[in-house]
Structure 1
Amino acid sequence: MKIYFSGSIRGGHEDADIYKQIISELKNYGIVLTEHIGSKVLENNLSDEEIHDRDLKWVMESDVVVAEVSTPSLGVGYEIGRAAEFNKPIVCLYRKNSKKQVSAMIAGCAQVKAFEYSNIEDAKQILDEQFRDINKDWRNIIYLKSGSAVQFKAYNCLLNLGIFDSLAEYNPTLTGSIPIGISVKESDLDIACRFFDADRFERIVESIFGEYEGFKIEQKEKAGYWVVIANFKFEGFNIEIYGSAYPVTAQNSYRHMLIEDRILKLLGEDFNKEVIKLKELGIKTEPAFAKLLNITGDPYSGLLKLEGRSNNEIKRLWNLKKHMLDTGA
């Protein structure tokens, strides 16, 4: 794996020691293309144009971009923007108690995961969690084959349907509750896709799956952009294909799945059972998580805010809810 690390050099030279420690940790996960950022010696043997062209080439070659954004930097912001353009996973770290706020253009970008940390050990834990998700290829459904009975059935269903081959150009990815093992009887097989032409995507989906039981498809506007949604039945499963102009990794269904998977693994069997119990009562997945973690307001956006929370903070939310359940409060 190739990792592009970004940090303010000319404006944040005093942070070089922090950068060096982060880079040292990143080397556990792959090759760091920008190891020189951890050095206190500024580059002066290359022109600005040469540095730009070299670094942009590295961004394009990288598998993931990690940025330390405590010190505002036009260069770092530019690199993050280009990484988002190239659909790279982006992890941003910023120090707790930093006097400067992280730009809304960074914190508000759907492709960016931004995390606050107070010391290098916090940063290491965050990176460990993020690279565990990055290294798992959710697009390869082979993991279903060795899972539960429902997951194994879903694996065979999707294999027989051939959806990952027939829609390969749209990066089809299974999302939802079945991949993370909290499905109930009514759970769908949700396939997230990315298109560049909504009309063409709609025609192709209908031409391939239009004859299946209960097939219906619609194109509609959602939050200012167009999406295509198709539904049909196959081998006992309800199938939903959801297409958007956003990269799959930036779509809410994918992001929800990743944070839910992290929470389930973190909080263990008792929490998992409570989630399934609520789902069996007819409560959807995200509202079930929100209820158990005392998330107020919109459960879908509230759950995404947990992406930047530490494991200990999430544990505290659950412990508070358990206390309320135990005391009947």
Structure 2
Amino acid sequence: MIQPMKQPKTASLRTSLRSASVLSLLATGLAFSAPIPKLYNTGVDDAGKPLPDATVDPHYTLIESPDAAYPGPNTYTLEPGWPVAPAGPWIADSTVSRWIAPRARQSVGNAPGSYTFRTTFDLTGFDPAKARITGRWTSDNTGMDIVLNGNSLGISQPGNFGVFSEFTIESGFVAGTNTLDFLVFNAGDAVNPIGLRVEMIGTVEVAGEPPRIVTAPVGGTYPVGDTVTLSVLADGTPPLRYQWKRNGTDLPAANDTTLILDNVAAAQEGDYTVVIRNDAGEITSPAVRVTVLDPIPRLYNTGVDHDGIVLSDGSEDPHYKLVVNPDDPAVTIPVVQDSTVFPIVAGPWVANSDTSV
């Protein structure tokens, strides 16, 4: 903002505009994801609804148990009451998951030692390299590890059965059937409660999905030397490959997600498209027009020098003149105001920028 000069002020250098503008054409790839099929929380049926009390969980099996009386493979939802809230300290069952254990009566419990609960899911027809699971788990007692397809993920939690611990799995998946194990250690020297609670969701990219444009590029009108950004948002099975074109002709070396042309010129005006390809097919974005105009000579924003760089506080503006000044008619030269005080700071004026003050 500028006002008539009254007295000099201490100058402070402002951030300048870039002397050379850039035409940036940006392409971004996203993968088309689907839910991982047959991935279930603990204690639910095939529709994801909570199982009744003392019911076998059809999706989790017990593959390791130190309790000879309850060796598995069945796991069970619990009988109502202690140790599950509100009667006990364990997190209450919910509409999306329940506690499971080697036996339903955890008011008595099971033998101390290491237990392994297993669930399986199938990635047939999907890209296992692009699978991802996020979730949370808790147990009584310590959650020692999560193991995917026999490989330790090094994910543990302290067995604080009053709260969940979050986890994320982004690698180690295989084509076809996958096994996911939750290792729980039941502490103590005698029979006592043990349980597992898991809530998770998974996504995976569909194999052989051709490219699809989610958001197409948008053109516009720009002055010579300005910065222009065109972007496309696409999904499909990776890897996605990009080729930008102007007026139907490939732009040299424009086969990455980003194309940079220094200081956009009138010769770069035209219709821009991007072709997106993968092994399953290709798609071309709708053509968008980029119009490049010569700027009006010597037309400036407030508070900038001849190169368009913002002036420092207290500087005279060389491009504007006060023709009416009721405060002091003799003062005709506007100056850049102090950018560190009211009304620019903590006041009603629009903040200074790197293009005008």
More helix by share: 1
Higher relative contact order (CA 8 A, sep 6+): 2
More strand by share: 2
> Taking structure 2 as the reference length, what is the TM-score of the superposition?
0.23
> Taking structure 1 as the reference length, what is the TM-score of the superposition?
0.24
Work out which of the two has the higher radius of gyration on C-alpha atoms and give 1 or 2.
2
